[in-house]
Chain A
């Protein structure tokens, strides 16, 4: 095994340990929240009932059904056992729906909203930042402050302002949801059109924020690289400007790739606020609902999904980086 493989095996083990800790915390933390999920459900179900004996029996049935009558340790063992078989349990709030089914229905919405938004925002932001650094002058003097301004608006403010202006006042776009409520998801032109109309505002809000952040970062990096000694040296050896620009932007891109990988990693749980503001049917909205209902299995399921994707993104990033930047590869080998 060479030093490089060794490094990755070692890294993999660390990521695995991190995952184990995440599983433990995902289980414990929701259960530390004050309150009892069963009482919330029972009090809703038994509204108007006066017979305390019936209420008590309903309560106990649910306690046994959800398995929260057992001691915490036993619950954890059952949780881990089910987890190993790919079962994340049954949701409390949407009983008897399986958590895996809920997540499976939510992930496409979240990914469908975030992935294109992050990619478009990332690409546009980087191009704008690079051009601003290269062209300087008026272009830079306009782009930079605008990017800085957009990037400094808290995301929820931006989302609410967009919702207010384009949804409520101008009525160009619907206010909430992933598609029109009266529709049943199916493959038809009407449905797809409805999805796109609902998709636009949250999509744009994420794109705008991503562009701002990426453009600022790319501009800074490009300016730094443009002023580095190898640019002058290459010029004095007669290398054409377009090729030098390639050197510069390749090197300036490196930190930006980290940014992309991290935002794709955190994407699944990423835009919690965006999904909540636009009531978009993704993971974020489910997590929010689950926390309000103290739906332990659903909370754990959502957070586990987020943890796994973040770890996966980081790990992939580390492998990719070794290939594209010799300096980092060297550092990785030395680590060992």
Chain B
């Protein structure tokens, strides 16, 4: 069995609003990621995906704050490091991040190579400028990116190109974990494909050891990731292999989420796409019981009493009071009506 590269336990982070309320956008998240594996995180807008991505980096910028929990990379809890240790030893080296808006992630008045030089000055100060150039152009070439990009300013690159450049920069130090926060959301389909190919390429060439891919586009996750986690109101509600999650979800929320995806198959025309009624709960005041209860058609009274813990039944991880058989039965009944 291979080692866990990334292990997150009970991670809780919150936003402090101007009215001094605490909004727990990530409310007790546990997961582990093995070497060579890819984990997809899916969910609606506002369920805490991007906050989780940022929180995993170990840096907290107001209004985001850290409450409790641990993030271990190769067994080292990065939350126990000082800020300076984190910056010099972890950021970019062990764990790297691809921001949601990669379009603006590059300093507009700086050539790409100057930025890479600055990164190297922090992490590999022994390298000369020529060596940095050598290293960067080799890496870009390996990733099918023209080394000419290095000598360009960000505004000279197209959107897809910029995104791929950002990915190449983020992974230039061969980080163990790469957190990609919606790297494809702002791109057209062709560029999306190029980005996915690039990420797979990075894994194959072992430039990165594992990938956390965050998106709201579930079908995309099926092509990229080994496992998928669905997040709702700051918590994980279900985890399973990509196959299981797409074709055989257990949790009512995952089911609804899958039902709301447009599948281009025969007979779809004219058929109404199911939407999940309502919106995720206000995280300032989370419900005591199941957080999805208010939007769940199977909700019972007991759902609203007490916290629902995640459980393992028949090898499936999900957060619901009922067993898989019951849920399946209810679901089929609903389909027939």
Contact = CB atoms under 8 A, between A and B. Distances in A.
A230 interface: yes
Nearest to A241: B87
Interface string A306-332: 000000000000000000111100100
Contact of A228 (B93, B104, B169): B104
Contacts of B122: 237-240
Contacts of A229: 99, 101, 103-105
Contacts of A235: 59, 61, 87, 91
Contacts of B108: 230, 251, 326-327
B118 interface: yes
Contacts of A240: 87, 122
A240 B166 CA distance: 19
B93 A230 contact: no
A231 to B, nearest CB: 9
A253 to B, nearest CB: 10
A181 interface: no
A230 B118 contact: no
B87 A327 contact: no
Interface in A250-309: 250-251, 254
B109 A238 contact: no
A134 interface: no
A326 B107 contact: no
Interface string B228-255: 0000000000000000000000000000
A25 B108 CA distance: 42
Contacts of B105: 229-230, 232-233
A222 to B, nearest CB: 14
A243 interface: yes
Interface string B86-128: 0110111100110101011111111000010011001100000
A13 B306 CA distance: 78
A240 B120 CA distance: 12
Instruction: Name, among A228, A238, A250, A254, the residue most crowded by chain B CB atoms within 10 Å (CB to CB).
Output: A238
Contacts of A330: 153, 155-156
A1 interface: no
A237 B96 contact: yes
A236 interface: yes
Contacts of B103: 229
B73 interface: no
Taking residues whose C-beta sits less than 8 angstroms from the other chain, chain A's interface range is 20 to 34
Contacts of A238: 87-88, 90-93, 119, 122-123
Contact of A230 (B91, B107, B153, B155): B107
B57 interface: yes
Interface in B25-76: 57, 59, 61
Nearest to B95: A236
Contacts of B155: 326-327, 330
B59 A326 contact: no
Nearest to B86: A238
A234 interface: yes
Contact of A326 (B90, B92, B156): B156
Nearest to B61: A232
Nearest to B170: A237
A239 B119 contact: yes
A247 B87 CA distance: 18
Contacts of A233: 97, 99, 105-106, 166
A237 B153 contact: no
B170 A234 contact: no
Contacts of A230: 104-108
A236 B86 CA distance: 10
A325 B110 CA distance: 9
Nearest to B169: A237
Contacts of A247: 107, 110
B57 A250 contact: no
A133 to B, nearest CB: 15
A239 B57 CA distance: 14
Interface string A99-142: 00000000000000000000000000000000000000000000
Interface in B147-166: 153, 155-156, 166
Contacts of B96: 236-237
> Shortest 5 CB-CB distances between A and B: which pairs?
A238-B91, A326-B153, A237-B92, A229-B104, A233-B105
Given A233-B97, A234-B118, A238-B119, 16 more contacts: A229-B99, A229-B103, A229-B104, A230-B107, A233-B166, A234-B107, A235-B59, A236-B57, A236-B59, A236-B96, A239-B118, A239-B119, A243-B118, A325-B109, A326-B155, A327-B108
7 contacts: A234-B118, A235-B61, A237-B122, A237-B170, A238-B123, A247-B110, A330-B155
